[in-house]
Amino acid sequence: MRPLDGLLVLDFSTLLPGPMATLLLAEAGAEVVKIERPGFGEEMRHYQPRWGRDSVNFALLNRGKKSIAIDLKNPEQRAKLDPLIARADVLVEQFRPGVMARLGLDYETVSKINPRLIYCSITGYGQNGPKRDVAGHDLNYIGDAGLLSLSMGLRDRPVVPPALIADIAGGAYPAVINILLALQERARTGRGRFLDVSMAENVFPFMYWAIGNGLAANKWPENGRELVTGGSPRYHLYPTADGRMVAAAPLEQKFWENFCEMINLEPELRDDSKDPDATIARVAELIAAETSETWKQRFAGRDCCCTIVATVEEALADSHFRSRGLFDHVLSSDDGRTLPALPVPIAPAFRSVPGEPLSAPALGAHNEEYL
| CA–CA–CA angle 97, 164, 140 (5° rounding) | 55
Please tell me the distance from the alpha carbon of residue 326 to that of residue 127, in angstroms, as a whole number.
Answer: 37
**Per-residue confidence (pLDDT) for residue 1, from 0 to 100:** 87
Q: Is residue 121 part of a domain?
A: yes
Q: Is residue 228 part of a domain?
A: no
Same domain, 183 and 262: no
Q: How many domains does the chain have?
A: 2
Q: Is residue 212 part of a domain?
A: no
Q: Is residue 219 part of a domain?
A: no
Same domain, 244 and 356: no
Which of 292, 313, 334 is the last residue before a domain boundary? 313
pLDDT tens for residues 10-53? Answer: 999 999 999 999 999 999 999 999 999 999 999 999 999 999 99
Please tell me the distance from the alpha carbon of residue 156 to that of residue 234, in angstroms, as a whole number.
Answer: 25
Same domain, 309 and 331: no
Same domain, 332 and 188: yes
| Mean pLDDT computed over every residue of the chain | 97
Which listed residue (137, 196, 334, 366) is catalytic? 137
Report whether 30 contacts 21 (CB < 8 A): no
CATH of residue 85: 3.40.50.10540
Which of 313, 336, 353 is the last residue before a domain boundary? 313
Same domain, 255 and 182: no
| CA–CA–CA angle 186, 187, 191 (5° rounding) | 30
Q: Is residue 217 part of a domain?
A: no
Same domain, 60 and 185: yes
In this prediction, residue 352 has a pLDDT band, given cuts at 50, 70 and 90, of confident
The runs of H, that is alpha helices, within the chain are 17-27, 56-61, 75-79, 82-87, 99-102, 107-113, 138-144, 165-167, 173-189, 208-217, 253-263, 276-288, 292-299, 312-317, 319-323, 367-370
Q: Is residue 344 part of a domain?
A: yes
Same domain, 292 and 342: no
Query: Which is nearest to 354 in space by CA: 17, 10, 27, 19?
Result: 27
Query: Which is nearest to 246 in space by CA: 222, 224, 226, 263?
Result: 263
Please tell me the distance from the alpha carbon of residue 263 to that of residue 241, in angstroms, as a whole number.
Answer: 14
Phi, psi for residue 308 in degrees, rounded to 5? -90, 130
Same domain, 83 and 135: yes
Same domain, 294 and 349: no
Report whether 245 contacts 238 (CB < 8 A): yes
Residues of 235-252 as b/e, b for ≥16 C-beta within 10 angstroms? Answer: bbebebeeebebebbbee
Q: Which domain holds residue 264?
A: 236-313
Please tell me the distance from the alpha carbon of residue 90 to that of residue 183, in angstroms, as a whole number.
Answer: 9
| Strand, coil or helix: 19 | helix
pLDDT tens for residues 76-122? Answer: 999 999 999 999 999 999 999 999 999 999 999 999 999 999 999 99
CATH of residue 262: 3.30.1540.10
Percent of all residues in the chain with a pLDDT value above 70, rounded to a whole number? 100
Report whether 13 contacts 99 (CB < 8 A): no
Same domain, 23 and 105: yes
137 is catalytic: yes
Beta pairing class for 330-332 and 338-340: antiparallel
Please tell me the distance from the alpha carbon of residue 10 to that of residue 352, in angstroms, as a whole number.
Answer: 20
pLDDT tens for residues 223-250? Answer: 999 999 999 999 999 999 999 999 999 9
Q: Is residue 80 part of a domain?
A: yes
In this prediction, residue 347 has a pLDDT band, given cuts at 50, 70 and 90, of very high
Please tell me the distance from the alpha carbon of residue 259 to that of residue 280, in angstroms, as a whole number.
Answer: 13
71 is catalytic: no
Which listed residue (54, 89, 167, 272) is catalytic? 167
Same domain, 281 and 363: no
Which of 293, 313, 333 is the last residue before a domain boundary? 313
pLDDT tens for residues 181-206? Answer: 999 999 999 999 999 999 999 999 99
Report whether 194 contacts 213 (CB < 8 A): no
Q: Is residue 209 part of a domain?
A: no
Please tell me the distance from the alpha carbon of residue 211 to that of residue 216, in angstroms, as a whole number.
Answer: 8
**Per-residue confidence (pLDDT) for residue 328, from 0 to 100:** 95
**Per-residue confidence (pLDDT) for residue 269, from 0 to 100:** 97
Long-range contacts of 292-298 (CB under 8 A, 24+ apart): 292/240, 292/241, 292/242, 292/244, 292/245, 292/246, 293/242, 295/240, 295/246, 298/262
- Residue 52's CB is within 10 A of a number of other CB atoms, namely 17
Same domain, 348 and 264: no
